[in-house]
Structure 1
């Protein structure tokens, strides 16, 4: 999708919503327009409740302006999870670091998205698109969402498995203001030593080449469905054999002419059009913005994309009701509890493979 298409996407979606108000889905709409400002930040939730009335459904909750902003956002997050019966809302968490750290960040549960955080329209579009792409994954296989009963609104009890640790240094972050920065992708490729290890087995899987795992990680295994995408979000899961030429043609277009070392593993498909390359670049940009690459060599040998504020020592978990893995960090304030850093793409455990790697137990988020 072209940059112009990305810029027009929210306007097109708004028009679709206007024409088909009966199918307007409030949880997704809240996040698509999170970059819009309002006088009272609680209205970023309450302002959409009237749309439920337009749809002739009873509002899920009546506005209560006696509540703090952080409590309104926490309760709304619980409501969204209960409505969807899955954890897609966790894919709307922005990094809790500059420029996204806000005046309420420290008072907000780590599992509740901060709608007051700085987010340019492009950030809203990218995060929304990543959320719609969750349908392509199923990291918990048949795991069904189970929310434990807790009196404290700021604690969320879920069931899941700790399956790994980010046990190595991470690649440099790709912040929102460096979206689609080819220099960062080049640095990641060197960090992962891709061109030296391209044909080696990935994570002990003899049928997966290390280099193929890397390029699929860059796009989170999401590629355009065909050359002329006519429907917004028309994407599919990548196939190493069928789509490597698309990646290699894209990467070739970014390299300087004198960089022969970076070209040695490329398989250029000269039938790939500039339009297809642009669409693939869009998939990469959406997958990598506000994230960083990790390459874990001590435990499972995984690589993946994690939030830009993830750190060495953070844990990887698959949680019932989630379609992707999540990055957790032991809470400093609440022993035995976890802070949610954000969602992740981990190549090789996006389709339920991680379920066998850990014992299912309560994961208490604060």
Structure 2
């Protein structure tokens, strides 16, 4: 349900015969379905009827997935002798669907669409119907995705994706699944042969694909559930139609080509790939239509929101819209639009902590200025940009174990819902911090110099006596938080082979210092990882000599703790004795594998606000 622009408001000049909704029976899981009245010409007005049905009776119907576009509901839809106000985009979709129905009158089930089939002025009904959303879409015969009117490039985009999908099928290369096969496998060699077709795409096809994936529909969070749980889905743009499976095949192929086998010599296609918004949809759809378990709440949040565009005008929908994708770990999270957004996010975070999924704290809001909403520092905020947790790979596996074998204690609730009680082991107090890293993704050699030099200075400031090779080891490993992406997209810990990449970067920095202003940094997985992990972070040193990196908001005087049961240390800022704000997770060299927990640690109980 693409409720991305909020509930529609009645037109300012609503006539007296506005449609009056009859109450649905929640005990029967009732929904409303829209049917078209027959018309003899495409030029006749679209007229509709609404009927109540029970999901328990397994009615036959299609679901419409679309975006509201402009929020003005100034288009009139004739409905059972009255009218209802709808948006321009919905009216265009219904007109197009009725044309399809007229051409194929023998196979036209009813339609479910949120703005008409839910009484948007009845908050209790909205809550009940949104709770049913997964069932509504999963029981539909098919989901009809309306992208909007056809543009001059739509036909070429559809033709290109059709041809790619059919070629992949002809070569028996489907499905393309991550993790990808070994680069030397026969399957990969066949994919590489098929990849040559990407290079042959001309500029018109590239632009057509770019236009197709720039449609507003791709950026709305509700559509992920709508397509992911569907039995079948087709995409419509005016008269153009394409099965969602063909689009998904093209997207997965493009992702493989750009991730596992870089298309460095084709910036045009990389530009197209940057416009593809469907990757999360494809992942969710594949997951739900195999024997794999459904993803958990936190995994879904990560897949959909971290470094991806998934928009919702009502920020509460960033939680409500994905509940249908989940396994049973979201039990207790009820759709309630009367709740403040901060309470929705707080309750979702607390639910995960209660279920021992402390990784949620790696995504916590922390201390911020000018935030869109105010939440406790330990709470997830989906209105803000989310960063990738340290050491987490695409299999949702963390490479670190700072608390070792020590498990999270039994959760203890607090009277104040904004307070979280955690048990921690103190690591140290920050005494020095480096400069915040450059935020731009395209670093210059000077940015690498600053990052490496700060870590060297912080390590040298330590009162501990360390040999030069140990100092060097701390610096080059801390620069990438001791982990990086390998060539297959999986994360791994650094190893001595990465030291060569660091030395090559160090040599480039030395050349730059010696006056060679044309020096460029070498390309390597190590260098790429610095560009990924350093922005929004800075180096630090604790008073007891430990070196690491944390969020750029950390400062001297902040404390580093390990939360029992979590994989990484965290930086806290004391507000009053025993009460802290959480700033964010940290990498601390020498403390990421449970070494500080091997002796009997001193465990404290602190409160987070």
1:92 aligns with 363
2:371 aligns with 102
Note the alpha carbon deviations across 1:158-183, whole angstroms, 9 max, x for none.
11111200012x11112644575643
Query: Which structure 2 residues correspond to residues 125-136 of structure 1 after superposition, within 5 A?
Result: 127=388, 130-132=391-393, 135-136=398-399
Aligned-residue offset at 1:33: 2.9
2:296 aligns with 25
Aligned-residue offset at 1:349: 0.6
CA RMSD of aligned residues (A): 3.5
Q: 2:319 aligns with which of 26, 34, 45?
A: 45
1:221 aligns with 482
User: Structure 1 residues 320, 260: closer, same or farther in 2, change over 3 A?
Assistant: same
Aligned-residue offset at 1:75: 0.8
Is the CA contact (8 Å cut-off) linking 1:175 and 1:291 kept in structure 2? no
Q: 1:156 aligns with which of 403, 412, 420?
A: 420
Is the CA contact (8 Å cut-off) linking 2:573 and 2:581 kept in structure 1? yes
2:590 aligns with 348
Q: Distance in 2 between matches of 1:205 and 1:196?
A: 9
Aligned-residue offset at 1:281: 2.3
Q: Distance in 1 between matches of 2:494 and 2:328?
A: 40
Q: Distance in 2 between matches of 1:63 and 1:235?
A: 36
Note the alpha carbon deviations across 1:217-259, whole angstroms, 9 max, x for none.
011111344xxx23x3x121112x3321122224445x37353
Aligned residues: 326
Aligned-residue offset at 1:312: 0.7
Q: Distance in 2 between matches of 1:164 and 1:220?
A: 18
User: Structure 1 residues 345, 152: closer, same or farther in 2, change over 3 A?
Assistant: same
Q: Distance in 1 between matches of 2:397 and 2:329?
A: 27
Unaligned runs of 5+ in 2: 1-258, 265-269, 517-521
1:360 aligns with 603
Query: Which structure 2 residues correspond to residues 199-348 of structure 1 after superposition, within 5 A?
Result: 203=464, 209-225=470-486, 229-230=487-488, 232=489, 234-239=490-495, 241-253=496-508, 255=509, 257-260=511-514, 277-296=523-542, 299-331=543-575, 335-348=577-590
1:113 aligns with 380
Q: Distance in 2 between matches of 1:243 and 1:95?
A: 32
Name the larger-Rg structure.
2
Is the CA contact (8 Å cut-off) linking 2:403 and 2:568 kept in structure 1? yes
User: What TM-score does the superposition give when structure 1 sets the normalisation length?
Assistant: 0.77
Is the CA contact (8 Å cut-off) linking 2:365 and 2:375 kept in structure 1? no
Q: Distance in 2 between matches of 1:303 and 1:350?
A: 12
Unaligned runs of 5+ in 1: 263-273
Is the CA contact (8 Å cut-off) linking 1:315 and 1:328 kept in structure 2? yes
Q: Distance in 2 between matches of 1:135 and 1:179?
A: 27
Q: Distance in 2 between matches of 1:302 and 1:216?
A: 13
